[in-house]
Amino acid sequence: MDPEALRKYSALHPKPAGLALQYGTAGFRTAAQLLDHVMFRMGLLAVLRARAVPATIGVMVTASHNPEEDNGIKLVDPLGEMLHPSWEEYATQLANAEEQDLQEVITEICQKAAVNLHNDALVFIGRDTRPSSEKLSQSVIDGILVLGGQYHDYGLVTTPQLHYMVCCQNTQGQYGKATLEGYYEKLSKAFMELIKQSHSSGESQRHLKVDCANGIGALKLSEMKPYFPQELLIHIYNDGTKEKLNHLCGADFVKVHQKPPVGLDMKPNERCCSFDGDADRIVYYYKDATGHFHLIDGDKIATLISIFLKELLAKVRQNFQMAVVQTAYANGSSTRYLEETLKVPVHCVKTGVKHLHHKAQEFDVGVYFEANGHGTVLFSKAAETKIRQLVKEEKDDEKREAAKVLENMIDLINQTVGDAISDMLVIEAILALKGLTVQQWDGIYTDLPNRLLKVQVADRRVIDTTDAERRAVTPPGLQEKIDALVKKYKLSRAFVRPSGTEDVVRIYAEADTQENADALAHEVSLAVYHLAGGKGAPPQP
């Protein structure tokens, strides 16, 4: 490591005085003009991580569903998973170090993490379509080069595509080819194989309107169009040519506001979906004949996939263990349907993709989705090997055919991370194979009315939770108060949890009617305000 070069380059990417940032589930995210030094330093960190593992590491420049003025960065570990928690701390340390301490912090990380400075380091870089992304990814490259690392710049890619490339590279191509063509070919081939078997009644062409949040999803989906069979007609809206990224559109907007995005005209009973800004989340929706808007969120996506996989697993007659992983935000109706009707075990974990992904790895088939539409399916190595073996060797026709469908599902699903394009194709294939309309899918169960609120508090740390964030341990008396309020309403539950990023407490309540869900949420917000140090005026109903 050349201290002189480090000093020289670091001075070109100075840290704004007094700025402190924290690496969270989403990496670093803030206003783009504050991130230059962070990008340079994450280039440094990526090289250290690559040498420590040793393997290729990914760096993605994106702020996902945040406004266009923001940006962010996250590191991708060797199998396409999120950065290891111990390295999240190193990332925070390095990003916040003063200029003169940079060398010292790097040396300390190298000692703690047993980094072998003689190992080669290769870093894959990708970025979204924000105006600031290109310049910021150049700063990452500066950091990589200072420490003698090598890089491959994929340029404009979706976040899940970068995760996919990293996984392909580190499995020596076993997961697929580490190119965009490789990604498009693998997914489209599996999709074609699946829908070949659908003898869908009525029209053979399937129309789907896709809101791409004026982001990277539009570019990559249109690049992929030539690979799709003519049966699938994709109509792209909010493609980024006219409007701002994530502005009044995208999966997050649709989910939060429970209404269609601007820039997409919906006719009754048309299937529509929205990606978020970096295309790692998806939600579906439609308008019924009376013009009423229906949202199909991550819970219902997980349910559709679970129904389909459970039928196939029953046909292959292997003792595969399947489970669904949710967070406390999952609608109570979905949990009830999965456990009681479908008889699939459901596990609840803390909010945050890394917790869901980690839990899903415990099963042969682990389905996980957050209500916001981020999710995927994980297959254990043993299950995947067995399924591929059945396709080759099984004599029984029904078993072999079911195994073949499962094999194509394994190839269509991006197991590294939630992927809007891959999830969309999985859903489209299942709807075609089962001959389901969007209304029939929506009708599997009825969501319990719910309400999300937030209360500003002086210090969010006064609230501590347990039982996958479903019960408050502190402040004293708060949980007892919530329990008493919940007893007043039918089919109700409520929980509170501190925000991961700001001094607010998030409140979720559901009940048998919207009126009751609203009333319960309001009463719980008052309890939080009074018992957890609320700021400003008390919450109004």
Q: Does 497 count as an annotated binding residue? A: yes
Give the per-residue SS3 of 69-120: CEEEEEEECCCCCECCHHHHHHHHHHHHCCHHHHHHHHHHHHHHCCCCCCCC
Q: DSSP of 222-270, one letter per residue?
A: HHHGGGS-TTEEEEEE--SSSS-TTTT-SHHHHHHHTSPPTT-PPPTT-
pLDDT at 199 over 80: no
- Confidence band, pLDDT 50/70/90 cuts, at residue 502: confident
pLDDT at 488 over 80: yes
Q: Are 476 and 527 in contact (CB under 8 A)?
A: no
- Specify if 429 maps to a domain: no
CA–CA distance, 149 with 142 (Å, rounded to integer)? 10
Token pair recorded at residue 249: 């559109």
Q: What would the mean pLDDT of 373-382 be, rounded to a whole number?
A: 97
**Same domain as 457, residue 383:** no
Q: What is the CATH number of the domain that holds 353?
A: 3.40.120
Q: Which residues contact 283 (CB under 8 A, 6 or more apart)?
A: 251, 254, 255, 273, 274, 295, 296, 297, 298, 301, 372, 373
- Confidence band, pLDDT 50/70/90 cuts, at residue 384: very high
**Same domain as 194, residue 51:** no
Q: Does 500 count as an annotated binding residue? A: yes
Q: Does 276 count as an annotated binding residue? A: yes
CA–CA distance, 194 with 430 (Å, rounded to integer)? 9
**Same domain as 288, residue 306:** no
CA–CA distance, 343 with 287 (Å, rounded to integer)? 31
Q: Does 372 count as an annotated binding residue? A: yes
Q: Which residues contact 99 (CB under 8 A, 6 or more apart)?
A: 10, 11, 14, 15
**Same domain as 246, residue 204:** yes
> Dihedral through CA 223, CA 227, CA 232, CA 238, nearest 10?
0
- Confidence band, pLDDT 50/70/90 cuts, at residue 140: very high
Q: What is the CATH number of the domain that holds 128?
A: 3.40.120.10
- Residue 381, judged by CB atoms within 10 A of its CB (0-12, 13-18, 19+), counts as exposed
Token pair recorded at residue 337: 């349907």
pLDDT digit string, tens, across residues 405-425: 999 999 999 999 999 999 999
pLDDT in the model for residue 352:
87
pLDDT at 204 over 90: no
**Same domain as 414, residue 304:** yes
Q: Cβ atoms within 10 A of the Cβ of 268, count?
A: 11
Q: What would the mean pLDDT of 233-251 be, rounded to a whole number?
A: 95
pLDDT in the model for residue 216:
97
Q: What is the CATH number of the domain that holds 468?
A: 3.30.310.50
Q: Does 492 count as an annotated binding residue? A: no
Per cent of the chain over pLDDT 90 is 92
Token pair recorded at residue 344: 């699939």
Which neighbouring-strand residues pair with 152?
A: 124
Q: Does 239 count as an annotated binding residue? A: no
Query: Which residues participate in catalysis according to the annotation?
Result: 64
Which neighbouring-strand residues pair with 24?
A: 27
- Confidence band, pLDDT 50/70/90 cuts, at residue 202: very low
Distances, alpha carbon 271 to alpha carbons 210, 424, 476, in Å: 9, 11, 48
- Specify if 523 maps to a domain: yes
pLDDT in the model for residue 205:
67
> Dihedral through CA 523, CA 526, CA 531, CA 534, nearest 10?
150
The secondary element (H helix, E strand) that includes residue 169 is helix 159-170
> Dihedral through CA 22, CA 26, CA 32, CA 37, nearest 10?
50
Q: Does 64 count as an annotated binding residue? A: yes
CA–CA distance, 260 with 285 (Å, rounded to integer)? 8
Please state the domain count of the chain: 4
pLDDT in the model for residue 397:
94
pLDDT digit string, tens, across residues 72-119: 999 999 999 999 999 999 999 999 999 999 999 999 999 999 999 999
Tell me what the pLDDT averaged over the chain comes to. Answer: 95
**Same domain as 260, residue 235:** yes
**Same domain as 288, residue 186:** yes
**Same domain as 455, residue 469:** yes
- Specify if 461 maps to a domain: yes
Q: Are 74 and 60 in contact (CB under 8 A)?
A: yes
For the chain, what percentages of helix, strand and coil (3-state, to nearest 5) are there?
45, 20, 35
Residue 479: what residue type?
Q
Between helices 133-146 and 36-52, what is the axis angle to 10°?
50
Q: What would the mean pLDDT of 256-284 be, rounded to a whole number?
A: 95
pLDDT in the model for residue 329:
94
**Same domain as 307, residue 292:** no
pLDDT in the model for residue 499:
85
- Specify if 170 maps to a domain: no
pLDDT in the model for residue 201:
47
- Confidence band, pLDDT 50/70/90 cuts, at residue 541: confident
Q: What would the mean pLDDT of 6-25 be, rounded to a whole number?
A: 92
Query: What is the domain extent for residue 518?
Result: 450-532
Q: What would the mean pLDDT of 168-180 be, rounded to a whole number?
A: 97
Token pair recorded at residue 14: 């100075």
Distances, alpha carbon 435 to alpha carbons 206, 448, 527, in Å: 11, 26, 48
pTM of the shown model? 0.94
Q: Does 370 count as an annotated binding residue? A: yes
Domain boundary among 396, 428, 443: 443
pLDDT in the model for residue 230:
84
Q: Does 498 count as an annotated binding residue? A: yes
